Amino acid sequence: MFSIGDLSRRTGVKVPTIRYYEQMGLLEAAERSEGNQRRFGKRELERLAFIRHARDLGLTIESIRELIDLSGHAEKPCADADRIAKEQLASVRDRIAQLKRLEKELERIALCCTGETVGDCHVIRALSNHALCATDH
């Protein structure tokens, strides 16, 4: 049995975050020691590692909750799990595309200042006027 600190060290998830996940229903309410401290087993360790990994991949708590619910039903079709992963991929791709547009504009804005004072700073002027931008962002 692990204490919450042991679990934290083994998974890299901070102690208050573990408690938060319990509160959010991602982890079941843990067993307790005589003195009311949480005690976890291998199963909980694995589930927390799953949560950690999914969070690292950017999935929301809500998606993770769905995936955990699903994984309790090994015989069901996995279409929902696949859908969640694909949606996450699509959302990551959207964010990349958006950030790339930003990157382009910021390059134009940030790397071209030849001014010396605020009065003729390219950065300030470019920020003041979106019409100078090459794209909508």
Partner DNA sequence: ACAATATCTCTAGTGGCTGGAAGTCTAAGG
Partner DNA sequence: CCTTAGACTTCCAGCCACTAGAGATATTGT
Q: Which residues bind its own copies (CB under 8 A)?
A: 46, 49-50, 53-54, 56-58, 67, 70-71, 73-78, 81-82, 84-86, 88-89, 92-93, 95-96, 99-100, 102-103, 105-107, 109-111, 113, 115-121, 123-124, 127-130, 137
- Shortest separation between residue 108's beta carbon and DNA, angstroms: 22
Q: Which residue has the tokens 């910021």?
A: 106
Q: How many CA atoms lie within 13 A of 44 on its CB side?
A: 22
| Distance, CA of 94 to CA of 97 (rounded, Å) | 5
Region label for 72, one of left (φ > 0), alpha (ψ between -120 and 50) or beta (otherwise): alpha
- Shortest separation between residue 107's beta carbon and its own copies, angstroms: 6
Would you say 24 or 89 has its CB closer to its own copies? 89
